[in-house]
Structure 1
Amino acid sequence: MGVRLFHRSTRSIALTPEGQLFLERCRRIFEEVSAAELELAEIHGVPRGRLRVSLPLVGMLMMPAIGAFVQAYPEVDLDLDFNDRLVNVIDEGFDVVMRTGDATDSRLMTRVLGRSSYILAGAPRYFEQRGLPATPDDLRHHLGLRHRYPSTGLIEDWPLGRKRPKVEVDLPTVAVSSALEPLIFMAEQGLGLICVPEFSIRGQLADGRLVSVLEDCVSHSVTFRALWPASRQLSPKLRVFVDFLAETLFVR
């Protein structure tokens, strides 16, 4: 190699500074090889261990599917963080992030988990008192339960006008919330109308607690994605988590 790696004497042998540097580099190489072998072995192994997941606040409504995952894979320990801020997946140490919208970060792998159309809905008792709206203009005589974006403080518009230009309705508002669950609860109590993703009220629509209206006039859907660092091997625990949600979360 052209350099001395050892100091030798009749009684001892010791590394030279160059030898120490060479040894440290070799150790790192062997550690990387061992880590690569472990990752390859895990690909076909049993899903287990801690999985850090970042979800939007609306992710609370995904808990039935996530709870089913916990039952199906008891050796995977979920660490769930609910927030609507733009997290740094890599720097903050998340294994996977679930978000809506388009994927724009080239450092991340992504998979579409599903899409959900928006639904305008209210309780039967509410419509008994107020009547069923036949057109978006009729909403002026109804009461709205509105969602506010936590990150901006802006009130979310209701996406009305599928077959015509977007309709702006000056809807009387009785309550505003940064989370959907309180709005859904108040809608069930007959206090007003909500406009939310269909998956979030699927159970209420199925059992009649809520009824959808103006279905031909609501023009928006939301796409949910799972994103994870492209630099990391897809571990068994991450693979089964993403697969499970893609297969169950938005299935009718």
Structure 2
Amino acid sequence: MDRFDTMRLFVRIVERRSFTLAASDLDLPRSTVTQAIKRLETRLGVRLLQRTTRHVSPTLDGEAYHRRCVTILAEVEDAESAFLDARPTGLLRVDMHGTLARTFVLPDLPDFLARYPGLRVHLGEGDRWVDLVREGVDCVLRVGDLADSSMVGRRIAMLEEVTCASPAYLERHGVPQTPDDLDGHLAIGFLSTATGSTLPLEFVQNGEVRLVNLPSVVTVTGADTNIDLARMGLGLIQVPRYHLADDLASGRLVPVLPDYPPTPSPVSLLYPHNRQLSPRVRVFIDWVTATFAARARDGVTSL
């Protein structure tokens, strides 16, 4: 293992806080990792890592060395990528919502893997906040406005949103013609995982965004449950149009207030600001951006 490989290994251990996880990420035997770090500390004459049975953390010297390693490795990768047609290899770890994955990513994933046979892909599913560095995730695909300044965000598309309800609900409560007609209506309360508060309905009226809070008899945190309850006639919902394509086509759900649409939701790819983009992440970003661009029929606007 040369010095650059050892630096990469050390950086991964600091990120993952684990020898075992770093070894797994880099496809190295645990014993190789241990010996490489021992040799590194011996050569430098300092202790770089504090080890316990459950946790690994950098010492003060280790933190300083880690910062230098990140800078040096980024410069090396930039220099090499300018002259080499770097073929992506290794494990690509991506996290995204399951519906987003099944609609936009999985259908074309075999073609992506055929194009880059050196890649292996792990897809994590969920809406929870992911610590990319600590969990060893390369990038996440998220819908909505982003406020995490520790991540670099690249917006790749906008998703058209639609307000809808079941025919049975509209028969009981009436069909509103403007947002002013929503008195007496119900919404299925969707709780924000960031704030724990129920999200208001949103309408663009006379060029301005209007927020409307309606009472709810049921609140949820899951997108699929939100739609199931709308089918049951329990209230109005606002979700991306692609998520409702079959329901809208079959009439199970009906658009409401189409002249007052919600603002579209951005789709963004995020990755740590202090991690140089690897070839595998770069090709994934380019590929998934093109994948969204090909889905304009589902209310997707590419950027």
| Normalised TM-score (structure 2) | 0.59
Per-residue deviation, residues 177-231 of structure 1 (Å, max 9, x unmatched)? 0111101112123332211233332343344332211122234222121122355
Higher relative contact order (CA 8 A, sep 6+): 1
Task: Tell me the equivalent position of 2:126.
Answer: 82
Task: Tell me the equivalent position of 1:216.
Answer: 259
Question: 3-state DSSP class of the match of 1:173?
Answer: coil
Verify: 1:188 aligned to 2:217, yes or no: no
Alignment of 1:1-252 (within 5 A): 21=43, 36=77, 40=81, 44=85, 46-55=87-96, 59-63=97-101, 64-74=103-113, 75-85=119-129, 87-99=130-142, 100-102=144-146, 105=149, 108-163=151-206, 166=210, 168-169=212-213, 171-249=214-292, 251-252=296-297
Per-residue deviation, residues 129-173 of structure 1 (Å, max 9, x unmatched)? 43321122332233321201123220001113522673545x342
Question: 3-state DSSP class of the match of 1:149?
Answer: coil
Tell me which protein shows more helix as a share of its residues. Answer: 2
Equivalent AA in structure 2 for residue 193 of structure 1: L
Decide which structure has the larger Cα Rg and report it. Answer: 1
Equivalent AA in structure 1 for residue 110 of structure 2: Q
Runs of 4+ in structure 1 off by over 4 angstroms are 35-39, 45-48, 230-233
| Normalised TM-score (structure 1) | 0.69
Per-residue deviation, residues 12-51 of structure 1 (Å, max 9, x unmatched)? xxxxxxxx959xxxxx9xx969x8499749x745544322
Alpha-carbon RMSD? 3.6
CA contact 2:92–2:121 (8 Å) conserved in 1 = yes
Percent identity of equivalent pairs = 29
CA contact 2:204–2:263 (8 Å) conserved in 1 = no
The farther-off stretch of 45-54 and 115-124 is: 45-54
Gaps of 5+ in 2: 1-41, 45-68, 114-118, 298-303
Question: 3-state DSSP class of the match of 1:215?
Answer: coil
CA contact 1:70–1:76 (8 Å) conserved in 2 = no
Gaps of 5+ in 1: 1-19, 23-27
Equivalent AA in structure 2 for residue 61 of structure 1: T
Cα 1:45–1:166 shift into 2, 3 Å: same
